[in-house]
Chain A
Amino acid sequence: MIKALVSVYPDLASVIAMNYVCRLSRIFDMEIQPIFVKELEEANKAPAVGWVRQTWENSLLDVEQEAMNKLIEAEKTEYARLASLQVYSGNRQEAILDNLLQGGYDLFVEGSVSRFEKSELLRRTRSRLYQNLPCPAIIARNLIDFDKVLIVIGEMSPAAALLPRLTRLFAGASLRFDLLHCTIIEAGPLEPVHPQHGLFDEADDLLAAVGWQPENRIALQGTPKDLGSRIGEYSMVATTLPAHPERHGGLLELLSNTPSPVLFCRP
């Protein structure tokens, strides 16, 4: 069973994250724990100090918590293994990291509305939360029914680093997926790369060992934008979480140009 922690907030991104993870639970055996971390308001936003400020913050928290409980209740009618909301206050990244580590979670999920800009993914992947994730993470950007996954490998996402984590996460599930080997270039046309040089050998060996078989093997070379547009809509795009995201701008730009949810696995 996959134990997933879902970060929620009363906004559109969380609606997407909650709904997407609940759709995933139709396919995979999952236990879903929503978490809301209320970050402390900046001092200058508070109307006063002391008891007044405390009361003001509590009332804000009540309103937000109620909104999220409604969101969870709406999903709960369909998904039985959706736990009640856990509420914390303090630093969001620290609280989530603590929960992921102490709770033994297999997956972290959060929502993000796509801007089709690299900066958004760069900011997230460089954050303390992502750089210290003890498990894979999904950034849900759209509600897409779970059908087929795209696994992205290549120089920036080595198969040996990605596939063991991925196959462990979805162990026992039957997953429909395509395998994409992509070579990112700064300029030039999008074109297929002939896979005669054993581009997929390592991936094939790793997948065969767990009985996984890709439906298609695609090898492409192109700019991030062209590759992103070519990928189209998959239910999920899985890749490695770069240790140095700023050095892998091409991969992040490629991912920014797809509407699909992204699954990052730390090597």
Chain B
Amino acid sequence: MKILAALDSSRDNSYILKEVARLAANTWADVTLLGIEPESVSAQQPPFTKMDRRTEDHPLVTSLRQGRSLFLKHFGDDGSPYTHTTVTSELVEVERGLWEDLQVCRGSIKRLNSRLRPGNPGRAILDEARHSPCDLIVVANSSAAGGPELTKYVKKVILDADTSVWMVAESKTPHRIVACLDHDNVSQPSLELINQMVTLYSADLEIAGLTSKDVLAGDVDHRMAEIVKYYAENQIKALVRLVEGSRLETFATQAAHGNLLALWMGKKSLLSRFFHPRAVDKLLGVAESSLLILR
């Protein structure tokens, strides 16, 4: 698994790093921490692009380095898959009858990259995701601290990214993962990601099928049956329910409260209505919990 976590230098990233580290610890993921500039850079702060790039005290650099330390701190000194410090002796036969006791410095088992992409944050995240393809992009829920102005870049990432996106909110642990589905295009990695979330939070799982005029489409019904069987085989209790499409916004807004709302997005998905400017602000405005967009 490959995770791309966007760290906004103007915000407290500790909670996002904690959640990414927990997920990475469970999945042994390759992780890229991406330093991005805030959407509105204050007048006092010179943009990174205009500075001497060797400087070490630019807020963007400081924030990224702090982020890396915080991430690594989660794993401790021993047994971290991201540190490079293991030195061992290995006896290697260099030629017939001649052995050399080599001091071997092993690289980390998994990759941890720290990168900066100054400029428009939405574009920066998408460019990085294209440059180094990943399975999950992690961003902060903009309503947690910054207000509606950050919604723009979060929305851009959600709408334009080809991979799943996890908007992490600084809040209590979700009690339930509520996953909404209205199409049959569900990938195995997205099911496994839900598994990870269930494990990570010891949460219950509820799968909501979206109906149109009280009818659940045949292909969605079939897919939900497969999903239910999959989770049953994996010893994960998954409750199911149906929600009428016209009541989706109300349901999702309520479900987001205290839970992790997961939306399986399809090209013609009803769920895309959330990402109209008004609806997304409404949803994020009350989402003290996180939101997971699955692709």
B238 to chain A, nearest CB (A): 7
**Residues of the A chain whose Cβ atoms lie less than 8 Å from the Cβ of B228:** 12, 15-16, 143
A113 part of interface (Cβ distance < 8 Å): yes
B232 part of interface (Cβ distance < 8 Å): yes
B150 part of interface (Cβ distance < 8 Å): no
CA distance A142 to B238 in the complex (A): 8
Cβ-defined contact, B216 with A143, below 8 A:
no
Query: CB < 8 Å: which of A16, A113, A114 contacts B216?
Result: A113
Query: CB < 8 Å: which of B209, B222, B240, B243 contacts A142?
Result: B240
Q: Is the interface of A mostly helix, strand, loop or mixed?
A: loop
A201 part of interface (Cβ distance < 8 Å): no
Cβ-defined contact, B237 with A144, below 8 A:
yes
Nearest-neighbor residue (CB-CB) of A67 within chain B: B222
* Chain A 89-123 interface 0/1 with B at a Cβ cutoff of 8 Å (1 = within): 00000000000000000000000011110000000
CA distance A145 to B221 in the complex (A): 22
A250 part of interface (Cβ distance < 8 Å): no
* Chain A 223-267 interface 0/1 with B at a Cβ cutoff of 8 Å (1 = within): 000000000010000000000000000000000000100000000
Q: Which of B214-242 contact A (CB under 8 A)?
A: 216, 221-222, 224-225, 228-229, 232, 237-242
Nearest-neighbor residue (CB-CB) of A116 within chain B: B241
**Residues of the A chain whose Cβ atoms lie less than 8 Å from the Cβ of B216:** 12, 113
Looking at A15, A16, A19, A114, the one whose CB has the most chain B CB atoms below 10 A away is A15
Q: Known interface pairs A11-B221, A11-B225, A12-B224. Does A113 touch B232 (Cβ–Cβ under 8 Å)?
A: no
Nearest-neighbor residue (CB-CB) of A144 within chain B: B237
**Residues of the B chain whose Cβ atoms lie less than 8 Å from the Cβ of A11:** 221-222, 225
A260 to chain B, nearest CB (A): 10
* Chain B 233-257 interface 0/1 with A at a Cβ cutoff of 8 Å (1 = within): 0000111111110000000000000
CA distance A20 to B101 in the complex (A): 61
B255 to chain A, nearest CB (A): 12
Q: Known interface pairs A11-B225, A12-B221. Does A19 touch B241 (Cβ–Cβ under 8 Å)?
A: no
Cβ-defined contact, B232 with A142, below 8 A:
no
Cβ-defined contact, B237 with A113, below 8 A:
no
Query: CB < 8 Å: which of A15, A113, A145, A259 contacts B242?
Result: A113
Binding site for B on A (CB under 8 A): 11-12, 15-16, 19, 74, 113-116, 141-145, 233, 259
Cβ-defined contact, A143 with B237, below 8 A:
yes
**Residues of the A chain whose Cβ atoms lie less than 8 Å from the Cβ of B224:** 12
Cβ-defined contact, B240 with A16, below 8 A:
yes
CA distance A248 to B232 in the complex (A): 34
**Residues of the A chain whose Cβ atoms lie less than 8 Å from the Cβ of B243:** 115
Q: Known interface pairs A19-B232, A113-B216. Does A143 touch B238 (Cβ–Cβ under 8 Å)?
A: yes
A110 to chain B, nearest CB (A): 15
A257 to chain B, nearest CB (A): 11
9 A–B contact pairs at CB < 8 A? A11-B222, A113-B240, A113-B242, A115-B242, A115-B244, A141-B240, A142-B240, A145-B237, A259-B241
**Residues of the B chain whose Cβ atoms lie less than 8 Å from the Cβ of A142:** 239-240
B287 to chain A, nearest CB (A): 21
A261 to chain B, nearest CB (A): 11
A149 to chain B, nearest CB (A): 17
**Residues of the A chain whose Cβ atoms lie less than 8 Å from the Cβ of B232:** 19, 143
Cβ-defined contact, B241 with A115, below 8 A:
yes
Cβ-defined contact, A12 with B239, below 8 A:
no
CA distance A113 to B240 in the complex (A): 7
**Residues of the B chain whose Cβ atoms lie less than 8 Å from the Cβ of A16:** 228, 240
* Chain B 185-216 interface 0/1 with A at a Cβ cutoff of 8 Å (1 = within): 00000000000000000000000010000001
**Residues of the B chain whose Cβ atoms lie less than 8 Å from the Cβ of A74:** 229
Cβ-defined contact, B229 with A15, below 8 A:
yes
Nearest-neighbor residue (CB-CB) of A15 within chain B: B225
Cβ-defined contact, B209 with A113, below 8 A:
yes
